Amino acid sequence: MGDALVMRVKDLMTPDVITITPATPIQEAERIMKDRNIRRLIVVEQNKAVGIIVHREMMISLHSPTILKETPVEWIMTKNLITIAPDAPITEAIQTMRKHKINSLPVVENEQLVGIITVVDLLHELARRLEIDQAI
């Protein structure tokens, strides 16, 4: 199979990532997720991805007696981000998500956040391919 036929992360990623800063209050992050109907937010400083906050973890934190609604997301975000390059093959993204048991990867190029790819993006592509196969 030629390299031109290899599907890349940039082919399926969402380029316009909704982001917040480490200082964003948890309550504000929760409102953004609800308004935008999304399950995760990438935390950035100077367009560099420094963390991620996932809806389920955030809701657990909001019900913790030690966390206030005004607490900055920096206190609860996951800091050791696993990222992927836009030119990486889709197979690498799948392997990375499976290995780390995660369902999204921030896409980073030259240390700058350029997109996000999620399991849902992969499922949409799989469904599209299955529909094409059935039409033939």
Instruction: Report how many domains make up the chain.
Output: 1
CB 53 within 8 A of CB 40: yes
Q: DSSP label at 39?
A: S
CB 25 within 8 A of CB 2: no
pLDDT tens for 85-124 read 999 999 999 999 999 999 999 999 998 999 999 999 999 9
pTM of the model as a whole: 0.86
CB 19 within 8 A of CB 43: yes
Give the pLDDT of residue 134: 75
CATH number at residue 128: 3.10.580.10
pLDDT tens for 20-58 read 999 999 999 999 999 999 999 999 998 899 999 999 988
The range of the structural domain enclosing residue 128 comes to 3-135
Give the pLDDT of residue 2: 47
